[in-house]
Structure 1
Amino acid sequence: MRELVFAVEYEAGCNRVADTLADHPDASIRSLSLHATEDRLWRVDHATGTPDALADIEDAFLNGDYYADCLATEDCDATQSTQVLDHTDDTLVLYSYWVRTSLCASIPHIARDHLGDGLLFDTRHESRHYTWRIIHSGEGDVSAFFDELETAVGDCARMEMLRTAATSTPTSNGDDSAAELSSEQEAALQAAVEHGYYESPREVDVAELAGHLDVPRSTLTYRLRRAEEHLAKQYVTHEQLPEELSTSL
């Protein structure tokens, strides 16, 4: 089995959910379950954020012109329905069901065409960045998948490969804390260190750093956040057990 991780960054006005999340930078949506057949897709999503953010996210799902995961740029006459399963002050759980038409395209359906059946999907949506993790057999054509996906998103989004590897790849005993960072994330971290972003007080802010790298501020923020998350998890994973605990195991 292999793991494929990539991000789609929507341009403004191309995806109502992305636009809503961009208005609420601290909110996020992650998938709890996602399944697709040849012409259908159903999923359960868990959103967190402020009450105002969750109200806007709910409205984006319930009242969007077309299904949020459809890559079409206009109404494609698909059948969709969304139900609110839970809504509290800081949590929103949504169930969505979508029956596509010949005009529709989506990441799960394009993946099925090129990577085969039995795929596992995991998603996280923050601001305009929609991160996908797909577990597949490794027998499909990843290049063809990305070629068709880039054609489908057109000018509405940019693609960024984050990782592709065997799901059971063993880690070495050496310092591999940055081995799974994408080249873009590594470049962002390196520039942040070189320009004093991590100094106290900071010598450069995110907007200035984004100017040095010639990338949008939201893109740089996303790359740094993902890189920092990865490094923090690597640190915790590689921390040695206390001696008294390790000797008792």
Structure 2
Amino acid sequence: MREFVFALEYDPGTNPVADVLEANPETTVRSLACHVTSESLWRVDHATGSQAGIEALESAYREPTYCADCLVRDDCGADCETQPLDRSSDELVVYTYWDRTDVCTSVPHLALEYLGEGLLFETYREGRRYRWRIVLGRDAPVGDFFDALGDEVGECAGMEILRLTDLDPDREEDDADKSLPAEQRAALQAAVEYGYYETPRRTDLSELAEKLDVPRSTLSYRLRRAEATLATAFVADDSLEWDETIAAGR
């Protein structure tokens, strides 16, 4: 098995959910489930963020012209059902289902067509960036799929391949690194590379955001979330070592 990770970057006005997430950088959406057949698609998403961001996101999901994951910019005529399953001031769980028409297409439908059945999908949305992770067979034609996706996406979104790797169950990976989304890891790596953490700093947040071509507020949020994750993991590891020292009587 392999994992293929790529990202779409929606232009303003082409996707209502992306517009809301851009305006509310503290709000993100992660998939809990995604299933596709040749005729339909259903998914469950979990959003977290500010109260204003959650309210705006719920409204975006309910827009009549919005059909989750459909890549057709004009009205495709699909029968789309969106239903909140759970709602609080800072969380939203949404179920979406739609029946495909002759003109409908989506990332999962293209994956089913080019990569075959038995695929696993995981998604993460932050700002205008929509990251996809697909677990697929070793011999699946990833290049053909990505070319077809580019044809369907057209000019409404940018595309970036993040990685294509074999899944190795024996490979050890740092727990904190696993918990960091690719966007946060990339932000940290760039911050270190351009001297953001040096004293004095070689670059400030605005300059770094310009280099990465992301809004300053989005970059700030990614760095804060990444730093919080790493700090929490560090303190947890340090506490564990201290407990082990006490237990050993040292």
Q: TM-score range by the shorter chain?
A: 0.7 to 0.9
CA distance in 1, matches of 2:170, 2:217: 33
Q: How does 1:4-15 map to 2 (within 5 A)?
A: 4-15=4-15
CA distance in 1, matches of 2:234, 2:164: 21
Question: What amino acid is aligned across from residue 115 of structure 2 in structure 1?
Answer: L
2:36 aligns to what? 36
Residue 190 of structure 1, CA deviation: 5.8
Equivalent pair of 1:129/1:222 in contact (CA under 8 Å)? no
Secondary structure of the 2:197 match is coil
5+ long unaligned stretches in structure 1 = none
Aligned length: 242
CA distance in 1, matches of 2:142, 2:231: 29
Residue 151 of structure 1, CA deviation: 1.0
2:163 aligns to what? 163
CA distance in 1, matches of 2:51, 2:98: 27
1:199 aligns to what? 198
1:114 aligns to what? 114
- Judge which range, 48-57 or 196-205, deviates more: 196-205
Secondary structure of the 1:47 match is strand
Residue 88 of structure 1, CA deviation: 0.8
CA distance in 1, matches of 2:137, 2:171: 21
Within the alignment, does 1:209 sit opposite 2:208 as a pair?
yes
CA distance in 2, matches of 1:18, 1:191: 23
CA distance in 1, matches of 2:196, 2:85: 41
Deviation string for 1:96-122 (max 9, x for gaps)? 001111211100000011110011111
1:135 aligns to what? 135
Residue 68 of structure 1, CA deviation: 2.9
Secondary structure of the 2:117 match is coil
1:60 aligns to what? 60
CA distance in 2, matches of 1:162, 1:235: 27
Paired-residue identity, %: 51
Q: TM-score, normalised by structure 1?
A: 0.80
Residue 200 of structure 1, CA deviation: 5.2
Equivalent pair of 1:14/1:73 in contact (CA under 8 Å)? yes
Deviation string for 1:126-174 (max 9, x for gaps)? 110111111111222000000001111111111111111111264479x
2:48 aligns to what? 48
Residue 234 of structure 1, CA deviation: 9.9
5+ long unaligned stretches in structure 2 = none
Q: CA 1:143–1:44 in 2, change beyond 3 Å: closer, same or farther? A: same
Question: What amino acid is aligned across from residue 49 of structure 2 in structure 1?
Answer: G
Residue 232 of structure 1, CA deviation: 8.0
- Judge which range, 219-228 or 66-75, deviates more: 219-228
User: Runs ≥4 in structure 1, deviation > 4 angstroms?
Assistant: 188-191, 200-203, 212-236, 241-245
Q: CA 1:198–1:171 in 2, change beyond 3 Å: closer, same or farther? A: same
Secondary structure of the 1:164 match is strand
Equivalent pair of 2:3/2:166 in contact (CA under 8 Å)? yes
CA distance in 1, matches of 2:159, 2:194: 27
Deviation string for 1:177-200 (max 9, x for gaps)? 8xxx98xx76x6565335321135
Q: TM-score, normalised by structure 2?
A: 0.80
Question: What amino acid is aligned across from residue 51 of structure 1 in structure 2?
Answer: Q
CA distance in 1, matches of 2:157, 2:221: 15
